[in-house]
Structure 1
């Protein structure tokens, strides 16, 4: 009996070693049979294809084999056009399968099946394709640091619910992938299945969560040989119509344009946009910005979000610069005023080329051109107007070279250039970035060196460098980091940066559980120390100790608690708005606590409370965020979010006077309400609602003068009204119909307005009345985009 027990134990050890230490391999089968994507799998060729099975839990109980009642079987076919994937997802309780219908790229409360494909098998980047049990598609480009769901590929899928579970059938054209020119292809491959009601994820090839890197732990797909891929040329013409109405009047606009996608070869793609139209992109969340920096906006234009992972390397690319605010203001005399200053610059065209060679060299090139823009200036003495160029014809360029090696490491060169016609400011920024991992993905060394040059009235150069060492595996992990940024480092012509002229060090340590306990599904404790010192003065710019505890309970309710202590006197070198000046920032303690109830529930709630106490008389900040969401059924859901912040005795810059720099002590409140709703007619057709009301005020009660030592003293002579009251309203109601692959009809009604005042109104109902009585703008737009595959057109003729 004892011998038998030892023999069984040895068998299990060998089984686990084989299961977890070796990569699984799947053979793709060639087919000449036409595959109809209907979820029925009735083509004869499916019966003889190799099967991928024996899935293993990824989260939360990492390494646990899938239960026989949930077994999963996947097969892969291929021809000269695409690969085909079928998946049988067994479930002994098929009536409990979650299947909420959502918009594309929104996961929702659904079971999911996904395939991760790495055409170069280099452990660096996946092309990931997901489909939910409701038939909704999601896709992304994934690296170890980021999943880019703004990337959208053209592929086909169908889902069929059955008495034994559900079935997935997918067709992924080669045009949606990148791979080498080799006659025999070897791809990195993994499949993932998510069972939503149990909050469990399973993968075909085991992913060990003790190791930080996920992509190198994929299995292998072999068998794809001698494929002759078709020409990858896609045309996406569009036409749109806009009707806009406000108190000023009404206007009708018609637009037409073209997007082009061309596969230069199996590895490289050219994307071009001619006569762009971004009229239906998501609105920007305007705020009362009292900071010394510009407000950073999210990018919502598809051309600048899709497939831009290469261009985001090095942090030199902030795409909102292209077509953003003009770079200069006109010079005016005392008898002149600006009566027309465009807030944005029109984009004329843009093109990008990106891809990767079979030797792992990624190459990216992006070019965009914006038009000459003028402001109108009115002379009150002559009653005449003149125009002055505030942004010339401008050319933006990005070049990226990213060499991958050893399955998990890379070195990148990035250059960003902005050239403006005439005597306007030009700029160039260059970065060398490296990311090196040990073979076992247990330690990571990464860093950069960046150089900037600005050509203006007086040329100047700057640089930034950083080095980081991180332990990336096991329960205990740590990070050691150091950086230096020179005074004149400036990437703001095509990138964005706020803080320069300092050096700093950071140390981070963390502990996490790798498998569930009797209380927690996941748990992580994190400690961090950070210190930043301004280069010129040697004063502390930032210094904190932070501890964070976060995790999920067995019922899959999430919580997070954080405490941040700033025990040092620090100084702000930007708030004074004057070169060489700084202001004292008192010691402070901040904390927050948040929780989110299980998202599988029909009614869920997300709440966060925060509090900051300053070492200054009666100065504190507190606030909360609350967002209930109710899912009426698989088609209809509503979510409301309320965010409130109150700052008592806050201090900040307001003006300059004859005594110098004027600060104020003020009270501030910020209130934001968001309402979002979704009704899905089916998995191709949705109606969406997005509404936002934002109100904020700043009420000054004492003025102060900034001294040379950074401290503030009372200013009893300044008496200008610098109070602020700000209201913003946005409302979008849209209908979207994906009537064919890559082709969309969308109708949008938009209503928006903005009100600024120097008189604080604390009554919320009056603020609402004021914004709705202001000059609200109404826009109704219809847009049609149609995807044309050159091969389909060629075959027809």
Structure 2
């Protein structure tokens, strides 16, 4: 980094800490006093608020606007009451609206938060970090979320609770019953809980709060008011049992001769989920033969850089309370626990020989025999999470071609057999955190273990993998400032073959030809690595936010047995600063502008990258918005692009983006965006065009359509490597790369508990190569010195093979296959979901799918016609029924 860049960063950083923005005085905490119902009859949950029990407490009112004009009186006022008995918490809301005909009663799926709504947040642990959120829309749609880390909302939490709404001449009302088994709290005789309530007034896109907050609070849960008056509650030991059954029929195009593709398959599955309250604040979740069906399929994606693509977890057992086990230690997706490793696609291959007429039927996922989670938080501030899961051996079945004509022509016929493709595996994750310093600080730790019972042909897998980490966070000055960090350690064991494969993997690349600090050792049977992060910054108060920090991943760090790690051997420094504009003006409601900078190095000390970016967004007075930014990357080196070859330099890059959207409250809204990136000497470029529509013609029906088209040409896309006169030739080519995807979603709500949902996504990727070249000087600044283009005398193409006569002596020196390809995928799901009683559901599902290769010489329209519209999709029909016993 040159002197000017260093000065700029130091000046900006020091300037941040010298900023003394005007800050409002500390806002006092409000307190609401509830009472027990006693001998009175519990309220009937009908939304009418005419029960005698409501008269024993006063209304909590005086809500204050939070957005857009913080601290001012709201357009419409709201009132709240809370009472309780031994088993339930009861909440009543009165939401005033001068013209009840303007109440927006849009329907949506659970957790969709449509139209007008009101919400209660409860910090029953009273730890200032976590809480439970219950949202009631005027149309009767439920929303529920678990709050962690003082403001992260997780909608995967689906408790059992009850609510009704009613519209009258004063506005609308809501009545709620929350079983205390759905909350977690200590066993003190007198409880003190954190309390907050939010109302959305749809007409003005306005949020008002019961507990007032400043415009830029340093957190969410830590700023709650208090709920007092709860006395003498007995421990609530929850016991829920939820059996399920799934009947499934798959239909697909029959493949002649393949005994495993005869046109259809059927299967019946049964299983059980259970939730057991060990204490009133610690819960054990169990699952036996879990069903991990999902409404949305993974989106289509292709990665030409060779790295694994990260997909979000969608399986209910792992999604619920996933925040407890989260341990991110660096930038991006790196995490010590990535739950999709459990039940992963089998990693082994088979010996099926197509020349002998053999076909293989390989399972798509490993069977999870069972899993258990023990989690919760004690009154002393201990957060605890333990997850244990066992996946079964998986076998591929090898069978003969059943076509008599093919069988008669075989010289050797084998018997049907099974081959192991995934071993019996045990996964363990333990997580703990402890609050202290009046809940302004915490320290924590994590330990993970993966153990495989290896046999047969699976010694290329690691036998065991362990990781551990420590983390902390400290807040001060009313949580306006913070510092946090963590450190991790990994250790993997296996055969010499397994550890050599690990060393040579794209995550590590110990075989890099110009690396002086790493090398492949084929005799090793273990690797031990470290990683970590430290950050300090300002997170609340005033109008400025900033942080500065760094992270590292040592060359031997390996987490991918139960975690997610994209690349080891990396050291990164970063700095971010943002200015917030939260006071509305005549032309905007709120705005933000920010600056980001980071640099990266490897453990040999190579200075690989520096990045500068400025970005901003504005929410205008009419609720339209714009999001824009630009970046400059004067230095881009990578250790991975040549897959074990020398460190590679890309030409410096500039990029910009712009997204504009209309008011999302309207029946029809759209978002349009463009990203444009360009490297010097036309080394590479990236152009993305995105258009998203949303239309809700009436309250029960909503539709959205999102289309993305991108072009990503490059003159130096890696193709292959080969030997030439005892040296390695790294071959790249000019690629014309295009991607097109469209995602359609349709939701129809017959009522809040009966919905019809459709999801469909076609995805097309095409890559065509020309102008092949080989690497001369991988770190040369000039592109023409970096690579040498093959002349017409040096390269020729015939029968799908490129032949290279590099020294033009009339003899082919090496050859490589045609890298052109096209990938086509279509995924769709039609789901009818009926929650016939709270917590118990019936699903009717119809899924379709097409996956295959297209002709890269065709246009997109031809690929759509030939590879999508004219192909017979695979269909899956299933019926799933669950019943939740709440004992």
TM-score exceeds 0.5: yes
Contact 2:434-2:444 within 8 A present in 1 as well:
yes
Shift of 1:329: 4.2
**Structure 1 residues 763, 193: closer, same or farther in 2, change over 3 A?**
closer
User: What is the rounded CA distance, in whole Å, between the counterparts of 1:59 and 1:413 in structure 2?
Assistant: 37
Out of 227, 231, 240, the residue aligned to residue 234 of structure 1 is: 240
- 1:339 corresponds in structure 2 to 360
Question: 102, 112, 120: which one pairs with 2:117?
Answer: 112
Larger CA deviation: 381-390 vs 348-357: 381-390
Q: Which of 663, 680, 685 is 1:615 aligned to?
A: 680
- Within 2, Cα distance between the matches of 1:444 and 1:783? 47
Measured after TM superposition, the shift of residue 726 of structure 1 is 0.9
Residue of structure 1 in register with 2:763 after alignment: 694
Match of 2:58 in 1: 50
Segment drifting more, 295-304 vs 210-219: 210-219
Q: Pick from 208, 213, 233 the counterpart of residue 207 of structure 1.
A: 213
Do 1:281 and 1:301's aligned partners in 2 also have CA atoms closer than 8 Å?
no
Shift of 1:685: 0.9
1:655 partnered with 2:676: no
How many Å apart are 1:228 and its aligned residue?
2.0
Give the drift of 1:663: 2.1
Aligned residue number for residue 369 of structure 1: 390
Name the structure 2 match of 1:793. Answer: none
- Aligned twin of 2:250: 244
Q: How many angstroms apart in 1 are the aligned matches of 2:85 and 2:563?
A: 43
Higher mean alpha-carbon deviation, 768-777 vs 292-301, is at: 768-777
TM, length-normalised to structure 2: 0.84
Q: Which residue of 1 aligns with 2:825?
A: 728
> Which of these residues, 411, 416, 439, is aligned with residue 407 of structure 1?
439
- 1:175 maps to 2:181: yes
1:603 Cα deviation (Å)? 1.0
Structure 1 residues 496 and 107, CA gap change in structure 2 (3 angstroms): same
Q: Deviations over 1:263-303 (max 9, x none)?
A: 11110111111111223442111323322211211111100
For the Cα contact (< 8 Å) 1:480–1:506, is it kept in 2? yes
Q: How many residues align?
A: 768
Question: Counterparts of 1:159 and 1:545 in 2: how far apart (Å)?
Answer: 51
Partner in structure 1 of residue 880 of structure 2: 783
* 1:26/1:51 contact within 8 Å kept: no
1:586-641: CA deviation from partner (whole Å, max 9, x where unpaired): 11001100011111111100111110011123732212110111110111122111
Whole-angstrom distance in 1 between the partners of 2:550 and 2:395: 44
Gaps of 5+ in 2: 1-22, 255-262, 329-334, 401-409, 496-524, 780-785, 796-803, 805-814
Deviation at 1:232, TM superposition (A): 1.1
Answering whether residue 615 of structure 2 is matched by residue 548 of structure 1, we say yes
- Find the residue that maps to 1:185 and give its secondary structure: strand
C-alpha distance in structure 2 between counterparts of 1:124 and 1:218, whole Å: 10
Contact 1:335-1:381 at 8 Å conserved across structures:
no
Measured in 2, the distance between the counterparts of 1:313 and 1:620 equals 35
- Aligned with 1:771: secondary structure? helix
Partner in structure 2 of residue 317 of structure 1: 337
- CA distance in structure 2 between the partners assigned to 1:781 and 1:607 by the alignment: 37
SS in 2 for 1:278: coil
1:118-157 CA distance string (max 9 Å, x none): 1121211111111111110111111335211111111111
Q: 1:256 aligns with which of 238, 250, 270?
A: 270
CA offsets 1:690-722 (integer angstroms, 9 cap, x no match): 111111100011223234645433354145211
Does the C-alpha gap of structure 1 residues 498 and 230 become closer, same or farther in structure 2, counting only changes over 3 Å? closer
RMSD: 2.2
| Partner Cα separation in structure 2 for residue 388 and residue 657 of structure 1 | 33
Q: Using a 3 Å threshold, how does the CA distance of structure 1 residues 335 and 679 change in structure 2: closer, same or farther?
A: closer
Are the structure 2 counterparts of residues 324 and 145 from structure 1 closer, same or farther at C-alpha, using a change threshold of 3 Å?
farther
Report if aligned partners of 1:139, 1:152 keep a CA contact under 8 Å in 2.
Answer: yes
**Residues 235 and 258 of structure 1 are in contact (CA less than 8 Å); yes or no, is this contact kept in structure 2?**
yes
Contact 1:761 1:767 in 2 (8 A): no
**Cα contact 2:236–2:277 (8 A) shared by 1:** no
Distance 2:33 2:739 in 1: 58
Residues 650, 668 of structure 1: 8 Å contact kept? no
Query: Could you say which residue in structure 2 is the equivalent of 1:431?
Result: 469
Q: Which residue of 143, 146, 150 maps to 1:141? A: 146
Question: Whole-Å Cα distance in 1 between the matches of residues 133 and 376 of structure 2?
Answer: 16
Conserved? CA contact 1:468–1:481, under 8 Å: yes
Within 1, Cα distance between the matches of 2:411 and 2:677? 53
After the TM superposition, which of the residue ranges 347-356 and 248-257 deviates more from structure 2? 248-257
Q: 1:332 to 1:429 in 2, by over 3 A?
A: farther
1:173 CA displacement: 1.1
Spell out the pairing of 1:531-542 with structure 2 (5 A cutoff). Answer: 531-536=599-604, 538-542=605-609
What is residue 756 of structure 1 aligned with on the other side? 853
Q: In the TM superposition, what is the alpha-carbon distance from 1:158 to its structure 2 partner?
A: 0.8
Distance 2:673 2:315 in 1: 30
Per-residue deviation, 1:95: 1.1
Within the candidate set 394, 402, 413, 2:425 is matched to 394
Question: Are the aligned partners of 1:603 and 1:630 in contact in 2 as well (CA < 8 Å)?
Answer: yes
Counterparts of 1:584 and 1:111, CA distance in 2: 53
Is 377-386 or 527-536 further displaced after alignment? 377-386
CA spacing shift, 1:685–1:595, aligned 2, 3 Å: same
Deviations 1:202-251 (A, max 9, x none): 11111223332121110000111111245411111111211111113112
Aligned equivalent of 2:381 = 360
Larger CA deviation: 124-133 vs 202-211: 202-211
Cα shift readout 1:367-402 (whole Å, capped 9, x = no counterpart): 111111234568997443654423210011110011
Contact in 1 for aligned 2:651/2:683 (Cα 8 Å): no
The equivalent position to 2:704 in structure 1, one of 616, 635, 639, is 639
Matched, 1:326 2:326: no
Give the structure 1 partner of residue 502 of structure 2: none
Residue 673 (structure 2) pairs with residue 605 (structure 1): no
CA distance, structure 2, for counterparts of residue 338 and residue 701 of structure 1: 36
Out of 514, 521, 528, the position equivalent to 1:461 is 528
Question: 1:763–1:54: structure 2 CA closer, same or farther, 3 Å change rule?
Answer: closer
CA distance in 2, matches of 1:358, 1:319: 28
Structure 2 distance, partners of 1:343, 1:543, is 41
What CA deviation, in whole Å up to 9, does each residue of 1:455-495 have, x standing for no partner? 12220000012110011222122111112210011111111
Shift of 1:438: 0.7
The aligned counterpart of 2:12 is none
1:35 to 43, 66, 75: 43
Aligned-pair CA distance for 1:327: 3.8
Structure 2 vs 1, CA of residues 34 and 587 (structure 1 numbering), >3 Å: closer, same or farther?
Answer: same
| Pair 1:582-2:640 in alignment | no
The match for 2:283 among 266, 269, 272 is 269
Distance between the aligned counterparts of 1:283 and 1:741, measured in 2?
26
Answer whether contact 1:620 1:650 (CA < 8 A) is retained. no
